[in-house]
Amino acid sequence: MLVSASLEPALERPAHGGRILAVRQGSLAERIGLRPGDVLLAVNGLVPRDLIDLGFGLAEPQVRLDVARGQERLSFELEGAAGLDLGVEFSDAVFAGIRQCNNHCEFCFIRGLPRGLRPSLYVFDDDYRYSFLYGNFLTLTNLEEADWERIGYQKLSPLWVSVHATDLEVRRRLLVNPRAPDIVAQLRRLGAMGIEVHAQIVLCPGINDGVVLEESIDTLADLWPAVVDVAVVPVGLTRYSRVRNIRPNTVEEAARVVRLIEARQRRFRARFGIGFVYASDEWYLLAGRRLPAAHAYDGYPHLMNGVGLTRFLLGQWARVRRRVPTRLPIRWRVVWVCGRAAAPALRSIAVTLAQVENLELEVREVENTFFGEGVVVSGLLAGRDLLRTVRAVEADLVLLPGSAFGVDGRTLDDVTLEEVQAAAKARIEVGTGAEDLLSSVMRGLERPLTPRYYT
């Protein structure tokens, strides 16, 4: 609630603060008169460094916002409360600029990107604030003492940490950073502060697998509950990756990783009550192994890391499939487009829909010619590969993976959904879960949507 507002001339152009990119309609920010382009200079007299500081400031009983608008300076007095939502989007979550990575990993996805993609993809993010806000993984190699003090004081928990190996020399080799600090000591320090950590190991065959992996998992388990859990994911290499010492994992290596992790899970369930260490879906796909049951993922803590994503989708479908009709009033052809990793789950769902009268459903797997066949996730499908695929599809509706379009509605190579629609012979929609899969089928119940393919 707005208590008061004042306006005074600004003596000089602001050199800091958070620039407002958008104001949500009907929000508190709109009601008090904040506008896109305004710069938030201070909250309760303190300059906010990022959205974290803003959140702390808005939780105070009384809140004063100092805002610059061109050459003017405005002040707003608000009644604050924990969870107060202004309803604004800033141009960046970190107002003074993101903290860049100081490592030189051979397997770094960003270093292997070709030119000409979205500019935001080339940012070497290794920022603890983005880890806290969005679950981005960081290495803890670029923290200053002031950062440690802030993490402890503001209780920035949990953090998501790329460990890769607890052996210091192996980790330094992987990071190509001879000055990388001891990650075990850092994790112990975070634990002493009351900060929880979700850890990640990117497994590079011949470097941090085998005995090194066993040691890393066991050492991290000794740090439980400060280290809450660990995800093990295979190194992802594209045809643009410039590597000398790193190669993809083989089928046999994937099978060994799955066996090791499942054996450790049995031990940890007796010790902690959870599996603690989890293999990403790619390991099971590569090894040709059946995925674990849903309960084995203990609530899917690493879902965005590809751990249990397939099982989670199948669980969603089990809950919505009862709403599938037995018959559609019109003949309806739907194509679900996806990357190779998602195809088996989608095909198993398609089998359950085979008895729906008047429905023809196909799962169309996209060949990733842009990054190479080793990249199997839908989120890394390039627009040019999606365009090539939909041009060859004749259907009434094509459902594309929403993960391929990012938060800004563009693919990695800057193709928009509108461009895909213009190239298609069908209606195009995007989806992210079982509800969207079902919706694409249920569109066949909407008589105004006359079929385009069967005419």
Q: How far apart are CA 10 and CA 269, in angstroms?
A: 61
Neighbours of 175 (CB within 10 A): 23
Reduced to 3 states (helix: H, G, I; strand: E, B; else coil), residue 57 is helix
First-to-last alpha carbon distance for the chain, in angstroms, is 56
Looking at the domain assignment, is residue 240 inside a domain?
Answer: yes
Residue 3 pLDDT more than 50?
Answer: no
In this structure, what CATH number is given to the domain that contains residue 216?
3.80.30
**Minimal CA–CA distance to 209: which of 235, 182, 241, 172?**
235
The per-residue pLDDT for 2 is: 44
Pair 370, 437 in one domain: yes
The per-residue pLDDT for 451 is: 60
The per-residue pLDDT for 11 is: 37
Average of pLDDT values for 68-82?
87
* Ranges assigned E (strand) in 155-213: 159-162, 197-203
Pair 65, 134 in one domain: no
Pair 132, 264 in one domain: yes
Domain range for 52: 2-90
Pair 300, 321 in one domain: no
**What is the count of structural domains for the chain?**
3
Domain boundary pick from 254, 286, 306? 306
Looking at the domain assignment, is residue 222 inside a domain?
Answer: yes
Average of pLDDT values for 410-420?
92
Average of pLDDT values for 283-306?
95
Pair 302, 319 in one domain: no
Instruction: Please name the residue ranges forming H helices in 48-182.
Output: 51-58, 128-134, 145-154, 168-175
Pair 301, 325 in one domain: no
pLDDT digits (tens, 9 = 90+) for 124-177: 889 999 999 999 999 999 999 999 999 999 999 999 999 999 999 999 999 999
Pair 69, 180 in one domain: no
Neighbours of 85 (CB within 10 A): 12
Task: Indicate left, alpha or beta for 190 from its phi (over 0: left) and psi (-120 to 50: alpha).
Answer: alpha
* pLDDT band, residue 452 (cuts 50/70/90): low
The per-residue pLDDT for 16 is: 62
**Least confidently predicted of 181-185, 259-263, 298-302, 329-333:** 329-333
Q: How far apart are CA 342 and CA 322, in angstroms?
A: 22
Looking at the domain assignment, is residue 107 inside a domain?
Answer: no
Between 454 and 422, the more confident residue is 422
Cα–Cα separations (whole angstroms), residue 182 to 164, 166, 178, 185, 200: 12, 8, 11, 6, 16
Q: How far apart are CA 199 and CA 160, in angstroms?
A: 6
**Minimal CA–CA distance to 197: which of 242, 131, 264?**
131
Pair 153, 302 in one domain: yes
Looking at the domain assignment, is residue 100 inside a domain?
Answer: no
Looking at the domain assignment, is residue 110 inside a domain?
Answer: no
Pair 230, 163 in one domain: yes
Pair 319, 302 in one domain: no
Mean pLDDT, rounded, of the chain = 91
Looking at the domain assignment, is residue 51 inside a domain?
Answer: yes
**Minimal CA–CA distance to 227: which of 277, 281, 298?**
277
Domain boundary pick from 283, 306, 329? 306
Pair 137, 269 in one domain: yes
Q: CA quadruple 205, 206, 210, 212: dihedral positive or negative?
A: negative
Average of pLDDT values for 261-270?
98
Q: How far apart are CA 191 and CA 193, in angstroms?
A: 5
Domain boundary pick from 306, 338, 371? 306
As given in the structure block, the two tokens for residue 300 are: 């899917």
Pair 216, 84 in one domain: no
* pLDDT band, residue 271 (cuts 50/70/90): very high
pLDDT digits (tens, 9 = 90+) for 20-43: 999 999 999 999 999 999 999 999
Looking at the domain assignment, is residue 299 inside a domain?
Answer: yes
Share of the chain above pLDDT 70, in %: 95
Peptide bond into 158 cis (omega under 30): yes
**Least confidently predicted of 16-30, 71-85, 202-216:** 71-85
